[in-house]
Chains A and B, each alone.
Chain A
Amino acid sequence: MSAGGTNAFAPGFYEGNRPRIVTSRFGMEDSHSLGRYVATGGYDGLRRALARPAQEVHEEVRSATVLGRGGAGFPAGTKWGLTPQDVWPRYLVVNGDESEPGTYKDRLLMERDPHQLIEGCLIACYAAGLSQCFLYIRGEMALAQERVATALNEAYAAGYVGRNILGSSFSVDIVLHWGAGAYVVGEETALIESLEGNRGMPRLKPPYFPAAIGLYGQPTIVNNVETLSNLPWLMVNGAAAYTAIGTPTSPGTRMVAVSGHVRRPGVYEIVNGTTTFRDLLFGEGFCGGMREGRSLKAFVPGGGSAPWFLPDQLDLPFEASQVGPAGSMLGSGAVMVMDDTTDIPKAALTLTRFYAHESCGKCTPCREGGTWLERILSRIVDGKGTDADLDQLLEVGQSICPGAFPHASSERLGISAVPFPYRMNTICFVGPSAYAPVHSALTLFREEFEARVTKRVHIPVTAVGASR
């Protein structure tokens, strides 16, 4: 429970002396039990919600601007309002398929405070008129599945979930569903395909939101675990208290995992909008700086899909309206830190290989392009590349994302930023994500690639094989 040490019950999580909305129970050994949850104010948010008309609860969430925590950052209250009029039933699908490289917060929220998530699901269903909820947990997260299953069984027995909840006319089932290992299923339309029993491939767009056509062709709201976990606190404390934390465009807190070459890699609940990357990486209440005697080389600010930042960008806050123009995104709340010992082409390969491996195969630019990026990068890392390969990487990237690709500015290189987002030739973000690390590494550290490849000598064709 000390402010300085790691949490005994959630390895990797640091409490710190900060406002905590979603991690308030992480320091309690039995935080996952119904008894502890109720003893610490649990299900009060649901009671308060049920005492008000659903429309009013929806309005409260909308006015709090609860940004989606899954990656895209779309406000939950607005998303709920995108359903077509008079089409029933509507469903809630909870995205607990957390798999973005560098990211883990949903897993801790499910393991450490499953009732908070369940209460969040109930509030969402009540407010938006959703009549069944499917809680999709990543297949590899055995403990999270056990904790959520136990919590659901407890909540059903105690009358918090199911028929006539707390004696009201509100009835909703929450069905625990789980995956079987596929990153792309974190994309919301692929999640729905998977939930329908199919291969987890993203659907063609439009419609852009499953709120229009989703599960079984019905209006469906897909929300992230952390997003929903904010709702119980919001119902108890109100939108004004929520927006009093952070900034107007990025209110509340968010969970961020910082991994790699820092002194105290960990998961932190930070104040949204105002906390900077410098605070997070070097602050004493956070990561406490780089490993002994090392300096920062680069960092990935928002999960493996995000273009990389340099020390030049350290003073940017966790605020999408500033990170976007600087050439990257906040994504799913994951920072991966590289110090001066890092082999940049190799580091890029570990991410590109991930996305190439996880391509579902539906879109050609991603299926073929991702694989080619991995192959070319592999041979460069193995010392078998040529200088022509460097241009080849960019050319393949162009077939996935045509036009200028976002990157950070660098004083050292004398280049200015290309703002986020990019154009893409694919349905979802897996293809562009395979290219992002390659593009960042090559743009910001080209000399490391050039040192690795053989220079090709161009011999004029006429000089070869003279037949005279």
Chain B
Amino acid sequence: MARLTEENVRLAQEIISRYPKARSATIPLLHLAQEQDGYVTDDAMAHIAELVGASPAEVYGTASFYEMFKFHPVGRYVINICGTMSCALMGAEDLMHHAEEKLGVRMGGTTDDGLITLERAECQAACTEAPCLQTNYRYSFRVTPESFDALVDDLRAGRLADEIPPHGVVARVRQHIPADRGAGVHAPEDVKSAPAWLDGKAAL
């Protein structure tokens, strides 16, 4: 396990081809690896390093900066409860205590059945709908202890399997640039002149 599958290598190459420099694809490829395995494995990082022309340490250096990447297995569902000001003003702390009791784990912990990892998160950009949480980056708004319990029960019963993909999958839609429609990607050093539509006149 853990190097990118053949299908994912194809996707990775398509993503890389959209950038003037392959290194720019590092974060999208790390997401691809996490989508494949649920977390980012050492083998996947080594593979990504080969694909983008970096060292595994450089890829790990990048990956470890970002909160969303996990380097150990986590639950199928990661529940992030926001604790920043707007949510805190509307009772996020009580919600976190309730969540810990309901799931029987502390913040950062995973339930024994491996289904749910609970995390304390920072502002999730839904401040008027406080307190809010995300389950694998899908929102629940104005969460109460009752609605939290209902969410957990639904997750356990598999009732949200269609709406919420397993951890690692963020966007379920991928961009595709059709070969006959793309404007073309050029390394910056290969471009010497102003784009054609400026018609020889310099932009302001």
Write the residues of chain A forming the contact surface with B, with a CB cutoff of 8 angstroms.
Answer: 11-12, 53-55, 58-59, 62, 80-81, 83, 85-86, 88-89, 98-104, 106-107, 126-129, 131-132, 138-143, 145-146, 149-150, 152-153, 156-157, 159, 161-163, 168-173, 175-183, 194-200, 216-218, 257-261, 265-267, 300, 304, 334, 336, 338, 342, 346-347, 350-351, 353-354, 357-358, 360
Q: Mark B182-196, 1 if CB is under 8 A from A, else 0.
A: 111110100111111
A129-B202, A153-B175 given; 14 more Cβ-contact pairs under 8 Å: A80-B204, A101-B84, A153-B173, A156-B176, A157-B178, A162-B178, A163-B182, A196-B21, A197-B26, A197-B52, A198-B26, A198-B62, A199-B61, A267-B128
Asked if B43 CB lies within 8 Å of chain A CBs, one says: no
Shortest C-beta distance, A349 to chain B (Å), equals 9
Q: B188 near A334 (CB under 8 angstroms)?
A: no
Chain A: CB-nearest residue to B196: A169
Instruction: Give which listed residue, A89, A139, A266, contacts B170 with CB less than 8 A.
Output: A139
Q: Would you call B161 an interface residue if the criterion is a C-beta within 8 Å of the partner chain's C-beta atoms?
A: no
Given the complex of chains A and B, what is the CA–CA distance between A261 and B54 in angstroms? 49
Q: Name the CB-closest residue of A to B89.
A: A260
Q: Mark B97-126, 1 if CB is under 8 A from A, else 0.
A: 000000000000000000000000011111
Q: Is the CB of B195 within 8 A of A129?
A: yes
- Decide if B183 touches A132 in the complex (CB within 8 Å): yes
Contacts of A162 in B (CB 8 A): 177-178, 181-183
Instruction: Determine the distance from Cα of A273 to Cα of B11 in the docked complex, in whole angstroms.
Output: 47
With A132-B185, A172-B183, A173-B18 as given contacts, are A304 and B123 in contact (CB-CB < 8 Å)? Answer: yes
A-B contact pairs, 22 of them (CB 8 A): A11-B141, A55-B204, A58-B203, A62-B204, A99-B123, A103-B123, A104-B127, A139-B68, A140-B68, A140-B137, A143-B138, A143-B139, A145-B170, A145-B171, A146-B172, A149-B171, A177-B27, A216-B188, A257-B127, A261-B89, A267-B128, A357-B122
Residues of chain B contacted by A128 (CB below 8 angstroms): 203-204
> Does A54 contact B69, Cβ atoms closer than 8 Å?
no
A42 CB to nearest B CB, Å? 19
What bracket does the count of chain B residues touching chain A fall in?
A: 35 or more
CB distance from A3 to the nearest CB of B (A): 18
Q: Separation in Å of the A110 CB from the closest CB of chain B?
A: 11
Which of A80, A88, A350 lies at the interface centre, i.e. has the most chain B CB atoms within 10 A of its CB?
Answer: A350
Q: Which single residue of chain B is at the shortest CB-CB distance from A437?
A: B85
Give chain B residues whose Cβ lies under 8 Å from the Cβ of A257.
127-128
Flag if A140 contacts B86 (CB, 8 Å).
Answer: no
Contact B203 A55 (CB under 8 A): yes
Most buried by A among B122, B125, B137, B188: B125
Whether B85 pairs with A175 at a CB distance below 8 angstroms is no
Which 5 residue pairs spanning A and B have beta carbons closest together? A181-B67, A197-B26, A180-B66, A145-B171, A197-B23
A197-B191 in contact (CB<8A): no
Q: How far is the CA of A216 from the CA of B23 in the complex (A)?
A: 11
With A132-B20, A132-B183, A179-B27 known as contacts, the answer to whether A142 contacts B89 (CB < 8 A) is no
Give the A-B contact count at a CB cut-off of 8 A. Answer: 258
Q: A101-B86, A145-B171, A180-B66 are in contact. Are A173 and B177 (CB under 8 A)?
A: yes
Bound state CA distance, A183 and B21, in angstroms? 24
From 43 to 66 in chain B, residues with beta carbon under 8 angstroms from any chain A beta carbon are: 52, 54, 61-63, 65-66
Complex-state Cα separation, A193 to B95, whole angstroms: 36
CB-based contact A163/B68 at 8 Å: no
| Cβ B197 vs Cβ A336 within 8 A | no
Q: A181: which B residues are within 8 A, CB to CB?
A: 66-69
Pick the contact of B84 from A179, A258, A304 — CB < 8 Å? A304
Contacts of B192 in A (CB 8 A): 88
Closest to A218 in B: B188
The residue on A at minimum CB distance from B138 is: A142
A198 to B193, CA, bound (A): 28
Residues of A within 8 A of B198 (CB): 54, 129
CB-nearest residue of chain B to A300: B85
> A153, A182, A342: which contacts B66 (Cβ < 8 A)?
A182
- Identify which of A143, A173, A260, A360 contacts B182 (C-beta below 8 A): A173
In the bound complex, residues from chain A placing their C-beta under 8 Å from that of B18 are 173, 175
Interface residue from B124, B130, B174 paired with A149 (Cβ < 8 Å)? B174
The reply to whether B173 and A149 form a contact with Cβ atoms under 8 Å apart is yes
On whether the beta carbons of A176 and B66 are closer than 8 Å, the reply is no
Contact A55 B201 (CB under 8 A): yes
Q: Does B88 contact A (CB under 8 A)?
A: yes
B170–A152 touching, CB < 8 Å: no
**Which residues of A are found within 8 Å of B176, using beta-carbon distances?**
153, 156
With the chains together, A93 CA to B23 CA distance in Å?
Answer: 16
B62 contacts A146, C-beta separation under 8 Å: no
Question: CA–CA, A100 to B21, complex, Å?
Answer: 29
A266 contacts which of B67, B84, B128 (Cβ < 8 Å)? B128
The answer to whether A131 touches B170 (Cβ under 8 A) is no
- A271 CA to B90 CA in the complex, in Å? 28
B180: A residues at CB distance < 8 A: 163
Nearest residue (CB) in A for B80 is A140
Q: Which residues of B contact A103 (CB under 8 A)?
A: 123, 125, 127
> Chain B residues near A172 (CB, 8 Å)?
183
B31 at the interface (CB under 8 A from A): yes
Chain B residues, CB < 8 A from A351: 84-85
Does B73 lie at the interface of the complex (its beta carbon under 8 Å from any beta carbon of A)? Answer: no
Q: Is the pair B195, A131 in contact by a Cβ cutoff of 8 Å?
A: yes
Question: By the criterion CB–CB under 8 Å, are B177 and A354 in contact?
Answer: no
Q: Is the CB of A259 within 8 A of B86?
A: yes
